[in-house]
A and B are shown apart, each in its own frame.
Chain A
Amino acid sequence: MSDLLNAFAIAGKAFFGFQAIFFALLAIGINVHFGYTGLLNFGQIAFAMLGGFGIAISVSQWGLPFWVGVLIGLAAAVVLALLLGLPTLRLRADYLAIVTIATAEGLRLVFRSVSATPVTGGTRGLAAFNGDFIDLAPWDTQRRYDILGTSWSGAELWVVLVGWTLVALASLLVWQLMRSPWGRVVKAIREDEDAVRALGKNVYAYKMQALVLGGVFGAFGGMVYALGTGSALPDQYQNANTFLAYAALILGGAARVLGPVLGSMLLLFILQFADTGLRALISNGVIPEALLSSTDVAQIRFVLVGLGLMLLLVFRPQGIFGDRREVMLDAR
């Protein structure tokens, strides 16, 4: 029993941890793309990688101040969004999907390649670039703090505080945009582009704006991740993360302001709880070693998440915050 309580506490930490922030920001970006505008971005992780490496390269390779690194990361994300959007946004939605998924994979392979090692550090990546940021913390970052049975380092708390502030600001921005006429146009584009064109709106420009905005959210997510881990490795930015962020978005409810945020927190909570909980049950002997060994746990928890998502789509396809009527309109 105490093992399970312990697992609950550890999962609770994951609920608020920087990885949840990372996925929340990725998913907020995907929500702008997919949930509101109907753009299929399957390479959101590429924006995150540019954000993370924007800081890492600027600070540890070029010796620039932290804030300049942030700006470089954001600028890189904007440029990537423009490059992806220019050729594809005039075409059908599937073209953007193909190009983004290829770019995310290709960019990671370039960053980890031998020829890129002098800049990106190759497979070993870059480290020691978050010192300036951690020094900004108003409390002692060397000691550990106990909060509700979980232990956090001072640096961790600082990353999490700044991260959740970013999530709050991003959500506020999305909320304000989506209740404005701008949001109305964007949602109409999701429904039918041609109808919107016939009403005198420049669909291409709106899609581009949405792509850039969502990409910038993704870049912020990558920055939080890089600051949280204190290192930037190309292989941290596997494209599987994009799809986990999609899972979080659908769990929370697409086209809802808080859907991606709560979805990411829950996803991380479930993954962590399944991990710690299963390990505890195996070491207790509740689950016999022959059935499931602790080395399988890392994989099994994703199976459980998959099963959970299936049940969700059967019984509550709109996610936690979604509107069932709205989702059902497509099924007609």
Chain B
Amino acid sequence: MPAESGSHGAHAAREDELTPAGRPAPQRLAQAALKDLPWEVGVAKPDPAIVVDGVTRTFGGLTAVSVDHLEVQRGGITGLIGPNGAGKTTLFNLLTGFDQPNTGTWSFDGKELGKLAPHQVARLGVVRTFQLTKALSRLTVLQNMLLGAQEQRGESFLRALVPGGWRAQEKANTEKAMELLRRFKLDAKKDDFAGILSGGQRKLLEMARALMSDPKVVMLDEPMAGVNPALTQSLLGHVKDLREEGMTVIFVEHDMDVVRDISDWVVVMAAGKVIAEGPPESISQNQAVVDAYLGAHHDAPLTVEEEDRVLAEVEAEIAREEHGDTSPGSDVITDGGRR
């Protein structure tokens, strides 16, 4: 099993190799496991957490998503990139139950997710964030966090009426929330309304809130969009931490430096299809990806000489065809040529 050998190797490396700071070197189990895979669309992963099969979603005549087969490696960071309108967010919506596909199935840990409502998907441990941040403005930062905790007794109507039944759990959740807030440097703002946070802080809060539910898969829709470079670094660190904790991360991002930095595997979408996948270093060499981003004719002749040469070639070809041709059309052309 490639996955097992990969994990053993990384584990051994962690035992004896320590970074200068004294921290254990990051385990990149997924990277090791994915190292020897062919760079092909729909390639089977050693240990897939999410498997997508034949999912299509059309809006009227537009096919927003049409994915034949896609597997996402457990415990790795998978970057999902593609030009605007490629269907990345739609795919996110489909996977998390926020949208229903026209055809297709997908599963998480072998459980079919096809017919589940968004909250049921979330309860299985697949949480997401949104491209347009959804901080709950008129709740405090701490309340935002507490909302993320799962299986709260006090969230049932009747049990909410008996505070004794949920106080202890609430206290434990509050401690957990404060710990996360400290990690994300939001603890000083715990009693402020989330509505007064800056855009970057809201991104942090949304990620921290998602972590309150102890997710298995975290899906981040453009976590770095509109965030200043310094904060981007800390967000990147947090995303890497998620991998350290064994979570599977899927994220949509436009910044290729970010993608190269943290992804173990990159999936490229264009016009609703997966057009390439592979490790980050493979992507920039991929012809399909270059075509999708820059257009298929971006390498057409650019200089005057080149253009003349191509024109000359075409004219020569036309002339060759005319020699054996006696149609009236060719007469007109030869006529024009004499004048």
Q: Which residues of A contact B (CB under 8 A)?
A: 173, 176-177, 180-185, 187-188, 190-192, 194-203, 209, 325-326, 329-330, 332
30 contacts between A and B (CB under 8 A): A180-B163, A180-B166, A181-B152, A181-B155, A181-B170, A182-B155, A184-B155, A185-B155, A187-B136, A187-B138, A187-B139, A188-B136, A188-B139, A190-B138, A191-B137, A191-B139, A192-B136, A195-B134, A197-B122, A199-B122, A199-B147, A199-B148, A199-B210, A199-B213, A200-B120, A201-B147, A201-B155, A202-B119, A325-B193, A326-B138
Beta-carbon contacts of B97-121 to A below 8 Å, as 1s and 0s?
Answer: 0100000000000000000011110
A196→B147 contact, CB < 8 A: yes
Q: Given the known A-B contacts A191-B137, A209-B157, are A200 and B98 also in contact in the complex, defined by CB atoms under 8 Å?
A: no
Task: List A contacts of B96 (CB < 8 A).
Answer: 198
For A210, give the chain B residue with the smallest CB separation. B157
With an 8 Å Cβ cutoff, the count of chain B residues facing the other chain is 42
B163→A176 contact, CB < 8 A: yes
For A213, give the chain B residue with the smallest CB separation. B157
Beta-carbon contacts of B186-218 to A below 8 Å, as 1s and 0s?
Answer: 000000010110000000001001100100000
In the assembled complex, B161 has its CB within 8 A of some CB on chain A: yes
Q: Which residues of B contact A (CB under 8 A)?
A: 96, 98, 117-120, 122-123, 127-130, 134-139, 143-144, 146-148, 150, 152-157, 160-161, 163, 166, 170, 193, 195-196, 206, 209-210, 213
B130→A198 contact, CB < 8 A: yes
CA A107 to CA B196, docked complex, whole Å: 44
A180→B161 contact, CB < 8 A: yes
Q: Given the known A-B contacts A185-B147, A199-B127, are A191 and B119 also in contact in the complex, defined by CB atoms under 8 Å?
A: no
A-B residue pair count with CB separations less than 8 angstroms: 108
CA A284 to CA B152, docked complex, whole Å: 65
Task: List B contacts of A190 (CB < 8 A).
Answer: 138
A176→B138 contact, CB < 8 A: no
A181→B166 contact, CB < 8 A: yes
Q: Is the interface of A mostly helix, strand, loop or mixed?
A: helix
Task: List B contacts of A188 (CB < 8 A).
Answer: 136, 139, 143-144, 147
CA A326 to CA B196, docked complex, whole Å: 10
A195→B166 contact, CB < 8 A: no
Task: List B contacts of A197 (CB < 8 A).
Answer: 98, 117-119, 122
Q: Given the known A-B contacts A181-B170, A182-B160, are A200 and B213 also in contact in the complex, defined by CB atoms under 8 Å?
A: yes
A194→B143 contact, CB < 8 A: no
Q: How far is the CB of A33 from chain B (nearest CB, A)?
A: 15
B154→A200 contact, CB < 8 A: no
CA A177 to CA B156, docked complex, whole Å: 10
A200→B160 contact, CB < 8 A: no
